Every structure is written in C-alpha cells, then in structure tokens.
Amino acid sequence: MTPLLTTRGLTKAYDGLRAVDGVDFSLATGEIRAIIGPNGAGKTTFVSLVCGRVPPTSGTIVFDGEDITHMPAHLRVRRGIAYTFQITSVFPNLSAYDNVALPAQRTLEDGRAKTHLHAAIMSALEHTGLADRANIQAGALSYGHQRLLEVAMGLALKPRLLILDEPTQGLSDSEIDGFMGLVRDIASSATVLLIEHNMDVVMELARRITVMNAGKILAEGMPEEIRADEAVQRAYLGTENHG
C-alpha cells in the first residue's frame, strides 16, 4: 500500500544546529502513529515541516503521492493536512461555534447552502463532546475544553491527516479517557499523527511509535518493541522526567 506521507532526508537547520536531521519517515493511511522523545528531540519541528509552518533546509515531503516540500501551508490544508498546536490557538472572544465555523468554511467553498455549514460545525462539536457549549465564548471554556475545541477545529477541515501536538496536556484523567476514544473514532476516517508525552496514552493508542532524539529517528516499532528497546530506555523511557 502506498504510504499517505513520506519524508526523505528531511532536515531543518538553525545557525548550524540541526533541529531535524535527515529524517526518513513513512506513515500508512489509517494509522495512529505516535512520535515521542525528550524535549529538544525535534518532534514539533518535524511536524511543523510536514504542515508547512516552517520551510525545510533540505529533503523532501510527499503527501498522497504529491511532492509538497515547498507547498504553502494553506494549500496543504486543502490537501487534507490539519494540525492542532501544542499551545491552544482558539479565538477566545469568539464562541466555540464560530471558532469551528472558520475552518469549516474552507471545506464548503463550492457555495453549498448554510445548512451544510451548520451541519459540519455541529458534527465537529458533537464529535468532541462540545455541542452543548457551542454558544459559549472560547475564552470562558476550561483549558481541557479549549484543547478539545482545537481538535474540533481540525476535524471541521475534514482532514485526511490530523496532527495532534501534546493534545492531552492539561486534561484530567476522565478527559484523557474521552480523548482516547475520540482519537480511535477519528482514525476510522483519517490518519492520526500524535506527539505525546503521556506514555500511557501513547502505548494505549498508537499502532506504531517513532522515537526521536537529537533531531533523528532513534527507533520505530510496535508499542511492545519500543518499550523493550534499550536505546529508547536510555534516551527517554528510562528517565524520571519524560519532559
């Protein structure tokens, strides 16, 4: 099966420091993949390269058979790549409904009726358990609900690839349980790439795990393989602080 996303030799250097260093990566359609690693490993820089937020120094990115290495971020969104940020990026003075309306409008540029837009917005809010908070200002929502609103905004784009950067940060245990169910549900119609520090979430959700360290891929494999990998334990899992 042709991978949905591949990178070859993907590199991002800042004044000689290689934040991402020659990464070869492949992601299958319908997969839930987790990227883990210590702070400074290059995880967020890597997904920022994939979604077009930062340009690569060298290397290539191919999405669904198309070279998108130099494609602007907004065109990648139209191709089906959605990215939720490590820090919440909702519009606090807009309602939850209006926050989701902004990305939803991008999927209805063919002039379909407003009823289609409303249905798309409410579907995304219902998916994330926020339908009953549709008219609440985003800034008045709890931090956990703001994170879920971000996911709803991503879902409104009808993505083929949804990239989630630290989505469970700030969520309660019960909210994390609900989030894991949500991701499994999302994976029935989209591919999910997840950066996550909560190892319980990673081991529970991911079919495969990619471990980054110092800008490079240290290991890849099934959760049980990663848990048993001595190099991974030394670099990441064996430390007391997974930060």
> What integer pLDDT is reported at residue 112 of this predicted model?
56
The residues, ordered by sequence, that sit 6+ positions from 119 with a Cβ below 8 Å of its Cβ are none
Residue 197, sorted as left (phi over 0), alpha (psi -120 to 50) or beta, turns out to be alpha
Question: Hey, how many other C-beta atoms are within 10 angstroms of the C-beta on 199?
Answer: 17
CA distance 142 to 218: 36
Q: Which two tokens stand for residue 165?
A: 């950067």
Q: Which two tokens stand for residue 219?
A: 């290991």
The answer, yes or no, to whether residue 111 has pLDDT greater than 70, is no
Domain spans of the chain, in order of start:
1-80+159-243, 88-158
CA distance 28 to 25: 10
Provide the whole-model pTM: 0.88
Q: Tell me the average pLDDT across 107-119.
A: 70
The pLDDT-based confidence of 238 (bands split at 50, 70, 90) is: low
Q: Tell me the average pLDDT across 122-143.
A: 94
Backbone angles phi, psi at 122, to 5 degrees: -65, -30
CA distance 4 to 54: 20
Backbone angles phi, psi at 222, to 5 degrees: -70, 160
> What integer pLDDT is reported at residue 113 of this predicted model?
61
- The CATH code that applies to domain 1-80+159-243 is 3.40.50.300
- Mean residue pLDDT of the chain comes to 89
